[in-house]
Amino acid sequence: MLLEIYKGKCAFCGMSIKSVLEAAHIIPWSKATYEQKTDPQNGILLCANHHKMFDDGIISFDKDYNIVTGEMFMSDEQKKWVDDVVGKKMALPDDKKYYPNKR
């Protein structure tokens, strides 16, 4: 469903190679209710790299859907891998009913 909602592109970088796109849960699967696990508002389509960084708290998004760095310290060498997306607005679905839930 997220492939369709996000038009087959990573919400953070626009990657469109289908084999590396993954459904990322905002509320982790292990903590989500059954409804949250299947709710498209609890998911975003990300490429494998950004999915892993999102799950590990390296990058995230704020209440305005801007991509931000997480709380962990990163060296300048490590920052170069996220600088291309940090500060940009993530791509959002055309239909607002599928926007990631801000709660």
* 20-78 residue pLDDT tens: 999 999 999 899 999 999 999 999 999 999 999 999 989 999 999 999 998 777 888 88
Q: For Cα atoms 62, 30, 73, give the angle at the middle one, nearest 5 degrees.
A: 45
Model's pTM, two decimal places? 0.90
pLDDT at position 53: 93
Round to the nearest angstrom and report the end-to-end CA distance of the chain: 21
Residue 75 has φ and ψ, to the nearest 5°, of -70, 165
In angstroms and rounded to an integer, the radius of gyration of the C-alpha atoms of the chain is: 13
For residue 79, the model assigns a pLDDT of 84
Identify the CA nearest to 56 among candidates 47, 69, 44: 69
Residue 32 has a pLDDT of 92
